[in-house]
Amino acid sequence: MHWIDAVANTLLRRGVKHVIASGISISGHIHIGHSNDVFIADGIRRSIQSHGGEARALWYADDFDPMRRVPWPLPPSYAKYLGMPYANIPPPEPGYENFVDFFAREFLESIDRFGLKLEVYFGSKIYRGGHMAPLIRLALERAEEIREILNRYRAEPLPEGWLPYNPLCENCGRIATTKAYGWSGSYVRYRCVGSDYSPGCGHEGKADYTKGEGKLVWRVEWPARWKLLGVTCEPFGKDHAVVGGSYETGKLIARRVFDYEAPHPIPYEWVSLSGRQMSSSKGVVFTLSQWLSIAEPELLRYFIFRSKAMKAKSFDPGLPLLDLYDEYDIVEEIYFSTREVGTKKREKVARIYELSQVEDIPPKKPQRVPFRFAAILIQVVGGKIDRAIKILERKGFLVQPTEHDIELAVRRLSLAQRWVMEYAPERMRFKLLEDIPPKVKESLTEIQRKALLQLASDLSATDYDPVELHNHVYEVARGLGMDPPELFKAIYLVLIGRESGPRVGNFISAIEKEFVVRRFRDASS
């Protein structure tokens, strides 16, 4: 059983209706690491519904949190907004409502492409609409009990008289710099004293918690939100799951203060980017829209669901992306295969494939163009998609293709073209020579010329697929008593004018046979 289904089964034993929450503080661009909990939440929603239960998945934007550092790519001048709620900070460019809209719009516009069905909430609107007011009042009334719970895990205890509320300073607009010291009715009294990253203005005033003039501190807000939205399950980063972390204290506060059982927890590991930990504020990000520029949405779903939540994941948009494409294609092949693969393994692979789909599973296996081949072919044809499709049909990659098969091929070719331009290593990029430069021809050894001539003859007589062709190049070289790298070198020199290039089987297969045969014979003369 896939772990997503195991969680769904656990939840269904507790009841038939569920709310699976996810969310993020809008501290910069929302990257695929942030998206981890969104995909998990939606996956559980799907599983519960497929087993006859009722489920909703939601995404909560913590946009009333204070800005603690100026995120990339904003200018240093934004330091004047430190300590202010994200929702109250102006956008860096025109056309956006505010800071939050600038950083969250791209994410929200992308989620449908990944098949995610989410209800979207903004913390600022929840507070300003007064929806949290009854829970804020309860937290203020039970402040001493909350303080006692939190102090169990603090090296420096919270002082007597502490209140779990951060008022919004009416004078300077900061929410991270105020200290609440008393309350009555719907008002919390405060002083703007400053924080470790933002100075206070010294103002004393009062904030109306029924009108969104402040927010609960995080460790109290989280359990209050569970109660407000009826959350029964929530994935979250592993930092919240440590002993004494916000989930452990939230669980106690939810039960003792808000009379609510904490949701089923799903802690998950981080996603790194090319070996570096992702960070919105530092600009180490890879967004959903960036993903869609070079990879299919199903591939990100596969990337997340192929392993357990607490297994670290690393993404690299360079050459490792090609391995991810290969993996996905193999999983799809296994899913539609009638061959025995081993029952347990096949069931596991099949479920991962099902969870990876954006829409319903197709009735039969789609015809896929290997991404590695697409990345070479699109360069051979100079970016001309129509010409590439004709070559794919002529070479047997597309056999009596349906309209859907053509759409998939066009999509892969387009993604491959963008990948080559932005992420491919230099050795994967090339341009075919119109003619063999005289210096190149003169540099070829007698044995290289002989090998090229034999390859030309073999290619004229036989149709090879990319793997067969790659192996045949080895056979030709060894049959003539030469090191295969010397033949590879000759092939690349006469075709692209340098000594190395893409994998030779894919490379030659992507080029029109007549062109390759003519070029090899010309090099041999």
**In the prediction, which pLDDT does 35 show?**
85
Cα 303 to Cα 43: distance, rounded to the nearest angstrom: 13
Describe the crossing of helices 3-14 and 36-50 by its angle, rounded to 10 degrees: 60
CA 467 to chain centre: 32
Each residue's pLDDT tens digit, 181-232: 999 999 999 999 999 999 999 999 999 999 999 999 999 999 999 999 999 9
* pLDDT classification of 339: cutoffs 50, 70, 90: low
Cα 496 to Cα 275: distance, rounded to the nearest angstrom: 32
Each residue's pLDDT tens digit, 405-427: 999 999 999 999 999 999 999 98
**In the prediction, which pLDDT does 399 show?**
95
Average pLDDT, the chain: 95
* pLDDT classification of 280: cutoffs 50, 70, 90: confident
* pLDDT classification of 338: cutoffs 50, 70, 90: low
**In the prediction, which pLDDT does 10 show?**
97
Residue 340 has pLDDT above 90, yes or no: no
Instruction: Let me know: does 383 contact 414? Beta carbons within 8 Å.
Output: no
Residue 286 has pLDDT above 90, yes or no: yes
Average pLDDT over residues 248-260: 98
Cβ neighbours of residue 459 under 8 Å, at least 6 residues apart? 508, 513, 516, 517, 520
Task: From residue 58, give the alpha-carbon distance in Å to each of 52, 267, 338.
Answer: 19, 17, 38
- Phi-psi group of 103: left, alpha or beta (phi > 0 → left; psi -120 to 50 → alpha; rest → beta): alpha
Backbone angles phi, psi at 216, to 5 degrees: -70, 150
Backbone angles phi, psi at 287, to 5 degrees: -90, 170
Among candidate residues 23, 164, 172, the one with its CA nearest the CA of residue 83: 172
Cα 148 to Cα 164: distance, rounded to the nearest angstrom: 12
Task: From residue 480, give the alpha-carbon distance in Å to each of 10, 455, 518.
Answer: 65, 12, 21
Residue 525 has pLDDT above 80, yes or no: yes
Each residue's pLDDT tens digit, 31-53: 998 888 999 999 999 999 999 99
Using a pLDDT cut of 70, give the percent of the chain over it.
99
Average pLDDT over residues 451-471: 94
Residue 260 has pLDDT above 90, yes or no: yes
Residue 460 has pLDDT above 70, yes or no: yes
Using a pLDDT cut of 90, give the percent of the chain over it.
92
Residue 345 has pLDDT above 80, yes or no: no
Two tokens at 523?
Answer: 């090099």
Cα 450 to Cα 22: distance, rounded to the nearest angstrom: 64
**In the prediction, which pLDDT does 34 show?**
85
Q: Are strands 214-216 and 264-268 parallel, antiparallel or unpaired?
A: unpaired
Residue 75 has pLDDT above 70, yes or no: yes
Among candidate residues 45, 84, 109, the one with its CA nearest the CA of residue 175: 84
Instruction: Let me know: does 351 contact 308? Beta carbons within 8 Å.
Output: no
| Residue 285, amino acid | V
**In the prediction, which pLDDT does 501 show?**
92
Each residue's pLDDT tens digit, 54-72: 999 999 999 999 999 999 9
**In the prediction, which pLDDT does 342 show?**
63
CATH classification code of 438-524: 1.10.10.350
Residue 380 has pLDDT above 80, yes or no: yes
Residue 341 has pLDDT above 70, yes or no: no
Cβ neighbours of residue 250 under 8 Å, at least 6 residues apart? 219, 222, 223, 226, 262
**In the prediction, which pLDDT does 144 show?**
97
**In the prediction, which pLDDT does 48 show?**
98
Cα 196 to Cα 198: distance, rounded to the nearest angstrom: 6
Residue 119 has pLDDT above 90, yes or no: yes
Among candidate residues 115, 101, 96, 88, the one with its CA nearest the CA of residue 170: 88
**In the prediction, which pLDDT does 195 show?**
95
**In the prediction, which pLDDT does 344 show?**
74
Instruction: Report the greatest alpha carbon distance in the chain.
Output: 97
Two tokens at 397?
Answer: 């990659």
Two tokens at 207?
Answer: 């904030």
Domain segments of the chain as ranges = 371-428, 438-524
Q: Are strands 119-122 and 54-62 parallel, antiparallel or unpaired?
A: parallel
Among candidate residues 310, 147, 156, 312, the one with its CA nearest the CA of residue 241: 310
